[in-house]
Amino acid sequence: MACSRSESEQPPQDTAGPFKRAHYYSGLGFRPPKYKHSLADYRAYVSLRRAFLRGPRGRAALLYGGVVGRLARSDWVDVDQIFRGPSADVRSPKNRIYLWDGRTATACSDDRLSDHEIELICGVYHVATGQTDEHGAQTTSISWWRRPGAVVASGNNAGWWTPMWETFYQKRLQQLESGNAGILANHAKWKHNLKLERGAHPFVTANEACSAHILACLRP
C-alpha cells in the first residue's frame, strides 16, 4: 500500500462495510444455459481487460496483488503508478479503502477495486442454469481466472506471489491461449485445482500471527 503517499483525512465514523453481492450482469455479464466459449471469447475478454487496466483503475489492480495484480502487470500497467499516490477516483467512497492505525486523528485512503471490477479482471461470466426458484432464474459463475476469494480460503495463500503461483499462471495462460475446450472453471473446479496440503493452513496462520507481532514491536 502507498499509505505514505496517500491522501490524508479524518478517520471515518463507520468502517467500510463489505462489498455488495455482484449482480448477474457483473464481470463479463450474463450468458444463456449451456454456454460454450470459444477462443474468440477469450480474446475479447483479454482486450476488454487490457483496456480497463490501462486506465486509471490499473493502479488499484496492482495494489490488490495476487492474480489480479499479476494480470495487471501482464497488461503492461506501469508499476511506478503505485508510487504516485492514489488516483482521482479515490475521492469516491466506493473506490477507496481507509487505512487507519486507530491512534492518530487522521486516516489514509487509497484506491480499491469493486466486486464488479475484480470479476471483470478475472473474466467471470454468470451463466443461467435453466432452473428457477422463488428469487427468479438461477445462475452459476465460471471464469477464465480464479477469483481472489478462492485462494484466500485455501492453503495456497502465502501472502505474496510465489514461484508456485508463477508456474501455475504460466501453465494456465498457455492453456487459455491454445483455446482448450472446457477451460472455463466454476467454483467447484477452482476449489479442486487449488487444493493443497492440509498442513499448510496452520503454517499460514502462524506466519500471519508472527508478522503481526513483529509489526507491533516495530511500532508499539
Listed in sequence order, the residues at least 6 apart from 145 whose beta carbon sits closer than 8 Å to its beta carbon are 67, 71, 121, 122, 123, 172
Q: What's the confidence (pLDDT) of residue 8?
A: 46
Domain ranges of the chain: 16-218
Q: What's the confidence (pLDDT) of residue 80?
A: 79
Q: Which alpha helices (H) appear in the chain, and where do they start and end?
A: 39-53, 58-64, 66-74, 115-122, 148-152, 163-177, 187-193, 200-218
Lowest mean pLDDT among 36-45, 147-156, 179-188: 147-156
The percent of residues above 90 in pLDDT, for the chain, comes to 21
Highest mean pLDDT among 40-44, 129-133, 160-164: 40-44
Q: Residue 121: is its pLDDT beyond 70?
A: yes
Which tens digit of pLDDT belongs to each residue from 166-177?
998 999 999 999
Confidence band of 70 (pLDDT split at 50, 70, 90): very high
Q: Residue 155: is its pLDDT beyond 70?
A: no
Which tens digit of pLDDT belongs to each residue from 44-69?
999 999 999 988 888 889 888 899 99
Question: Which is more confident, 2 or 176?
Answer: 176
**C-alpha angle with apex 169: 168 to 173, nearest 5 degrees?**
120
Which tens digit of pLDDT belongs to each residue from 78-104?
777 777 777 777 777 677 776 767 777
Question: Which is more confident, 174 or 105?
Answer: 174
Q: What's the confidence (pLDDT) of residue 19?
A: 34
